[in-house]
A and B are shown apart, each in its own frame.
Chain A
Amino acid sequence: METMEWVRGSLDHCVKCTICETFCPVSNVTPLFPGPKYVGPQAERLRTGEGSPDASLDYCSACGICTFVCPQGVKIAEINAKARAAMKAERGVPLRDRLIARTTLMGKVGTPFAPVANWFLGNQPLRRLVEKTVKVHHEAPMPRFVGRTFQSWARSHTPLQDAASAVVLFHGCNVNYFEPKLGEMAVAVLEHNGLRVLIPPQECCGLPLQSNGLFDDARSYVRKLTQSFLPYANRGYDVLAMSTSCGLMLKREAREMLDLQDDEDLKTVSAHTYDVCEFLLALHERGELKTDFKPLPMTVTYHPPCQLMGHWMGKPALDLFALIPELKVEETDAECCGMAGTYGLKAEKYDIAMAVGAPVFQQVEDVRPDLVASDGETCRWQIQKATGVPSVHPVEVLYRAYGLGG
């Protein structure tokens, strides 16, 4: 059955129990969003695909929490996303959404002009101008361009010789344009464990395009990315994703959302895709992870991104942290930091995003950790901006504990 019908058909499982609504971080902070049950399985029965009746649907942040708390298996977030794409196709996608969805474009344009771009992004009057015209909120946390890409580092890096096996690194746009050092750390951690890290040329997974309703563009990006990894997957190499949301895209979201359910190449790549922490934990379960961690006497607040939970695998980073002596870890007791990809950048959504994230920020402020760790890059931007606490990927904590930075 075509994917849309399979996703839409899952609304039959809905027994109107309201569990999804109790978890929705957006409807819990604003009455502008009537809730996932409402815009998902409930309204979908009355949508024909012609004429979208409900603009309030646009307030969904696509965090995906509703789907993984639903006890009946309704693909709520997916139904919402499809309905929203249909609505946007009808009403038109705003210029703003088209721009922020094109991370590769932004990266390619911003990187050579990093200092200028960063100045631009940090300049409040200019940001207010941007808000008026393009509707990106002037306070929204934006990453900094660093002037060189991770890909350029990778090209000049000598891979580990005499390695027992190899893995492919799916670094993602964030590592490439904004956090190449994180990519270097990931390589160091994997090499420390005897793995040769292959870093083929690769572009965007298309997720920002998909979540802004630009399905055709998203499809061409994800197909291209699939082809980048396919030769490796065919040879049995695992593909490790540095970003939970990008990893999820290859694992299942692209297939579900973009009607690529039967795409054999994507299925092959998906079968080999792991989140980087998931992979490291699996190594440990097989007894193959080096556990020569030095004591790390610090407090880390760990925030599992909502998109990580969409992997349906629990929180592997926590189990990895448990291996590090003297490390104290506090887990946040909140569903979402509010950013949800590009949602929190938008002028009309910014306040909602900040309200959604407020419990997370409060818990960080209460604990006053040395570091915040989160697998999601946009979570890191959001939490760091709101609390001032340096926010890192869990791999960086491992890197430090291995003593690889010197």
Chain B
Amino acid sequence: MSKLQTEVLVIGGGSTGLGVVRDAAMRGFATALVDRGDLATGTTGRFHGLLHSGGRYVVKDPKAAEECIHENRILRKIAADVIEDTGGYFLTTPIDDPEFADKFVEGCRATDVPCEEVPVAEVLRKEPRVNPGITRAFAVPDGSLDSWKMVWACARSAEAYGARILTYHQVLRLIVEGGAVKGAVVKDHRSGEEVQIDADFVVNASGAWAGQIAEMAGCEVTVFPGKGIMVAMNHRLVNTVVNRCSMPSDGDIIVPARGVAVIGTTDQKVADPDNWEITREEVQKMLSAGENLVPGFRQARALRVWGGVRPLYQEKAEADTRDVTRAHALLNHRTRDGVERFVTITGGKFCTLRLMAEETMDAVCGELGVERPCRTADEPLPDSEEKRYYWLGARVAQREETLHQDQLICECEFVPRRDLEAAMLRRPTTNLDDIRRLLRLGMGPCQGGFCIYRATGILHQLQKISSSVANRSMLDFLQERWKGVRPALYGDQLRQVRLDEWIYQGTLNVGHLPADEAQGSAREEVKT
């Protein structure tokens, strides 16, 4: 078994873990991060992409609201490139209690969340698809963000400070000796080999799986997986985040996230964060909720459905997971469980990633007896140095520059060939989903119908893999796309599915490719 030595080992490649590894690396620690999959394949890659103003919590959970607005301001400073400054509205729709609006206003004032009442006519002018029956409207500084961009920017920042980011490295067991955690044994899924990582301190940032990791050190941490589903609509029905002005409920928000509009979400406790289903009822709930905010929603095109599990930590069990606080919890296992050199940082929201990391690393420094200040609020992430917010038209504008110099591989999302090849070389992988997360390949209306064949051909050429492995990549990707398309498959998206079936099963006949030569998944074929 190969060995790796580091000072701070972070388990979990979601927003929390990436926040921690960046903070740790910037404080001068030797750091390593492991995740069993690609970055942001847990909850982080599966939410609606809202940059919270805090408005959603001002009445129900004021502490969470305060944290949100505080971090909102900081993120705008350090991660502008990740954020689209869409602004947000809270709207009293025909099914909302009109009195809630006053509570909302009061709650904003009490938590320092900027909130301005705007005339309904102005909202309808700016967002003509919104329900004309709204009676009151409030503007808040919501935004929308690209979670993959965020975590990869954190990763690049951490790597610039010497961190090792090890995706597809799954923790098999923690090394516990003499009442302290000394590291972990992980399995590299790509090579199939085990690696022992020795560390001075281990941070458990594994989100909804935090309990499973903590248990490896004999600590009991109860994290409720709170499942929520979201539906991406093919185009932006609204360009501003739109919330119902009411107590949080299912399907009360639509977020314009890159080219799509995401409606979410539900909140249902599940037993196992890796094992749950999306039901027809849930999807119908989202569509009906959408119809309330945007009449005609059901005639618009639903692209796909996905779900994520929120890590909801509570010392005591609650009946409805919606009642569990969104505030985060930092558990020092030395004081709590008698296990040293081990903390769990869990709960929280994407938007508080930096704050959670700061608190965590302050505690880690305290345990290690060193004083190293946090600088994460001061230094912008890579690509955010100019403090320019993300502009939706950026890719189209970039393509204008390269119309006569480069090929467009994914036409829906404007992904040029050079970007695709650079990504493939930078992070060698045969899993096209990894590339998808970096570039949005296959995330547009045709869901890979045209680009996946091209990307597979390019992958085969560039990575010098066998056609067997390339086939596997293509087929896996098709299956992944299908997984999300199937639960909300109707109307226009069914037309698309038919065309894609004609292309892949008809024209290309991928159902009758020659049998695989090697066994096992595509991931195990690539040497990094």
Residues of A within 8 A of B (CB): 1-2, 4-5, 8-9, 11-17, 31, 34, 37-38, 41-49, 51-56, 72
Contact = CB atoms under 8 A, between A and B. Distances in A.
Contacts of A56: 400, 403
Contact of B393 (A1, A2, A41, A48): A48
Interface stretch (B232-240, B456-464, B516-524): B232-240
Nearest to B444: A45
Contacts of B496: 15-16
Interface in B365-412: 391-397, 399-400, 403-404, 411-412
B450 interface: yes
Contacts of A46: 259, 392-393, 395-396, 414
B273 interface: no
Contacts of A53: 393-394, 396-397, 400
A118 B492 CA distance: 53
Interface of B: 128-129, 234-236, 239, 259, 296, 299-301, 391-397, 399-400, 403-404, 411-412, 414, 444-446, 449-450, 492, 495-496, 499
Nearest to B497: A15
A54 B408 CA distance: 15
Contacts of B392: 46-48
Q: Which of A5, A37, A46, A48 is most buried by chain B, counting CB atoms within 10 A of its CB?
A: A46
A11 B412 contact: no
Given A42-B412, A48-B393, A53-B393, A11 B235 contact: yes
Contact of B499 (A8, A17, A41, A51): A17
A12 B128 contact: no
B128 A43 contact: no
Contacts of B444: 45
Nearest to A43: B396
A45 B403 contact: no
A361 B396 CA distance: 36
A47 B445 CA distance: 15
Given A48-B236, A51-B391, A53-B396, 5 more contacts: A5-B129, A16-B446, A46-B395, A47-B392, A53-B393
A45 B303 CA distance: 13
A244 B212 CA distance: 72
A55 B499 CA distance: 31
Q: Which 7 A-B pairs have the closest CB atoms?
A: A53-B393, A12-B301, A53-B396, A53-B397, A45-B259, A16-B446, A15-B496
B108 to A, nearest CB: 26
A1 B396 CA distance: 28
Contact of A72 (B236, B239, B495): B495
A16 B412 CA distance: 8
Contacts of B239: 48-49
11 contacts: A5-B128, A9-B296, A13-B301, A15-B445, A17-B499, A37-B411, A45-B236, A45-B412, A53-B396, A53-B397, A54-B393
What is the predominant secondary structure among interface residues of chain A facing chain B?
loop
B391 A31 contact: no
B445 A14 contact: yes
A54 B397 contact: yes
A236 to B, nearest CB: 35
A140 to B, nearest CB: 26
A9 B446 contact: no
Contacts of A16: 411-412, 445-446, 449-450, 496, 499
A12 B403 contact: no
A386 B264 CA distance: 59
A34 B407 CA distance: 12
A12 B492 contact: yes
B300 A9 contact: yes
A44 B412 CA distance: 10
B448 to A, nearest CB: 11
Nearest to B500: A15
Contacts of A45: 234-236, 259, 412, 444-445
A54 B445 CA distance: 20
A379 B86 CA distance: 46
A46 B239 CA distance: 10
A54 to B, nearest CB: 5
Given A15-B446, A16-B412, A45-B236, A4 B400 contact: no
Contacts of B394: 53
Contacts of B412: 16, 42, 45
Nearest to B393: A53
Contacts of B296: 1, 9
Nearest to B397: A53
A38 B404 CA distance: 15
Nearest to B495: A15
Given A1-B296, A16-B446, A16-B450, A38 B411 contact: yes
Contacts of B495: 13, 15, 72
Contacts of A12: 234-235, 300-301, 445, 492
Given A11-B235, A34-B403, A4 B499 contact: no
Nearest to A45: B259
Q: Which of A16, A51, A52, A54 is most buried by chain B, counting CB atoms within 10 A of its CB?
A: A16
B262 to A, nearest CB: 14
A44 B259 CA distance: 9
Nearest to A11: B235
B57 to A, nearest CB: 27
A56 B412 CA distance: 17
Nearest to A6: B296
Contacts of B235: 8-9, 11-12, 44-45
